[in-house]
A and B are shown apart, each in its own frame.
Chain A
Amino acid sequence: MPDHKVALVIGATGIIGGNMIRHLDTKDDWQVIGLSRRQPYYDSGAKFISVDLSDSVDCQAKLGELGHITHIFFAGYTDRPTWAEQDAPNLKLLANPMDVVEPIATGLRHVCLLQGTKAYGSQLGPFKSPAKEIDPRHMPPNFYYSQQDYLAEKSMKKNWSWSCMRPHAVCGYAVGIPMNLVSCIAVYATISKELGLPLRFPGSPVTYGGMFMATEAGLLSRAMEWAATTPTCADQAFNVINGDYVRIENMWPKFAEFFGLDIGPLQSINLPLMMADKGPLWDEIVKKYDLVPNAYEDMAHWPFAQYIFNNEWDMMSDATKCREFGFLEFVDTEQMFLDQFAELRENRIIP
Chain B
Amino acid sequence: MTDNKVALVFGASGIIGRGFLRHLDGLNDWDITSVMRNPPNFDTRAEHLPVDLTERDASLSGLKDVPQVTHVFYTAYKDYPTWEAAAEPNTEMFKNAMDGLLQNAPNLEHVQILQGAKYYGRHLGPYKTPSKEEDPRHMPPSLYFGQEDYLHELQVGQSWSWSAIRPQAVCGFSIGNPLNLTSVVAVYAAISKELGLPLRWPGKPEAFRTIYQVTDYDILGKSMIWAATTPACANESFNVTNGDVFRWEHMWDRIAEYFDMEVGPPQQINLSQMMADKESLWNDIVQKHGLAPTPFDKAANWAFGDYAFGSDWDVCMDTTKCRRAGFLDFIDTEEMFTNQFDELREAKIIP
Which A residues form the contact surface with B (CB < 8 A)? 128-130, 211, 242-247, 250, 314, 316, 318-320, 323-324, 328, 330-332
Query: A244-B130, A245-B245 provided; 6 other pairs, C-beta below 8 A?
Result: A130-B246, A243-B319, A245-B316, A316-B211, A320-B244, A323-B328
B172 in the interface (beta carbon within 8 A): no
Q: Flag if A128 contacts B245 (CB, 8 Å).
A: no
Chain B residues with CB under 8 Å of A331's CB are 320
Q: Flag if B332 contacts A324 (CB, 8 Å).
A: yes
Nearest opposing residue in chain A for B245, CB measure? A130
Chain B residues with CB under 8 Å of A323's CB are 243, 328, 330
A228 to chain B, nearest CB (A): 22
**How many residues of chain B are within 8 Å of chain A by beta carbon?**
20
* Contact sample, A vs B, 14 pairs, CB 8 Å cutoff: A128-B250, A211-B211, A242-B320, A243-B319, A244-B318, A245-B316, A247-B129, A316-B211, A318-B244, A319-B243, A323-B328, A324-B330, A330-B324, A331-B320
B218 in the interface (beta carbon within 8 A): no
Chain B residues with CB under 8 Å of A242's CB are 320
Closest 7 CB pairs of A and B: A330-B323, A244-B320, A332-B320, A320-B332, A328-B328, A320-B244, A244-B318
Which B residues form the contact surface with A (CB < 8 A)? 128-130, 211, 243-247, 250, 314, 316, 318-320, 323-324, 328, 330, 332
Complexed CA–CA distance, A178 and B259 (Å): 51
Count of A-B contacts judged by CB separation below 8 Å? 47
Complexed CA–CA distance, A314 and B250 (Å): 15
Chain B residues with CB under 8 Å of A244's CB are 130, 318-320
Nearest opposing residue in chain B for A333, CB measure? B320
Q: Flag if A245 contacts B130 (CB, 8 Å).
A: yes
Complexed CA–CA distance, A250 and B136 (Å): 13
Q: Flag if B128 contacts A250 (CB, 8 Å).
A: yes
Given contacts A320-B330, A320-B332, A328-B328, contact A243 B244 (CB under 8 A): no
Chain B residues with CB under 8 Å of A319's CB are 243-244
B186 to chain A, nearest CB (A): 23
Complexed CA–CA distance, A323 and B243 (Å): 10
B29 to chain A, nearest CB (A): 25
Complexed CA–CA distance, A27 and B316 (Å): 38
Chain A residues with CB under 8 Å of B318's CB are 244-245
A239 to chain B, nearest CB (A): 11
Chain A residues with CB under 8 Å of B324's CB are 330, 332
Complexed CA–CA distance, A128 and B244 (Å): 15
Complexed CA–CA distance, A332 and B319 (Å): 9
Nearest opposing residue in chain B for A245, CB measure? B130
Complexed CA–CA distance, A48 and B239 (Å): 46
Complexed CA–CA distance, A250 and B243 (Å): 20
Nearest opposing residue in chain A for B128, CB measure? A250
Given contacts A243-B323, A244-B320, A246-B130, contact A130 B244 (CB under 8 A): yes
Chain A residues with CB under 8 Å of B247's CB are 129
Chain B residues with CB under 8 Å of A318's CB are 244-245
Complexed CA–CA distance, A128 and B209 (Å): 10
Q: Flag if B330 contacts A330 (CB, 8 Å).
A: no
Q: Flag if A330 contacts B320 (CB, 8 Å).
A: yes
A121 to chain B, nearest CB (A): 15
Chain B residues with CB under 8 Å of A243's CB are 319-320, 323
B166 to chain A, nearest CB (A): 15
A240 to chain B, nearest CB (A): 15
Chain B residues with CB under 8 Å of A246's CB are 130
Chain A residues with CB under 8 Å of B323's CB are 243, 328, 330
Nearest opposing residue in chain B for A335, CB measure? B320
Nearest opposing residue in chain A for B130, CB measure? A245
Q: Flag if A316 contacts B245 (CB, 8 Å).
A: yes
Chain A residues with CB under 8 Å of B250's CB are 128
Complexed CA–CA distance, A320 and B332 (Å): 6
Nearest opposing residue in chain B for A314, CB measure? B211
Q: Flag if B243 contacts A320 (CB, 8 Å).
A: yes
Complexed CA–CA distance, A130 and B211 (Å): 9
Complexed CA–CA distance, A314 and B324 (Å): 25
B118 to chain A, nearest CB (A): 19
Nearest opposing residue in chain A for B324, CB measure? A330
Chain A residues with CB under 8 Å of B320's CB are 242-244, 330-332
Complexed CA–CA distance, A330 and B329 (Å): 13
| Candidates B243, B314, B328, B332; contact of A211 at CB < 8 Å | B314
A253 to chain B, nearest CB (A): 11
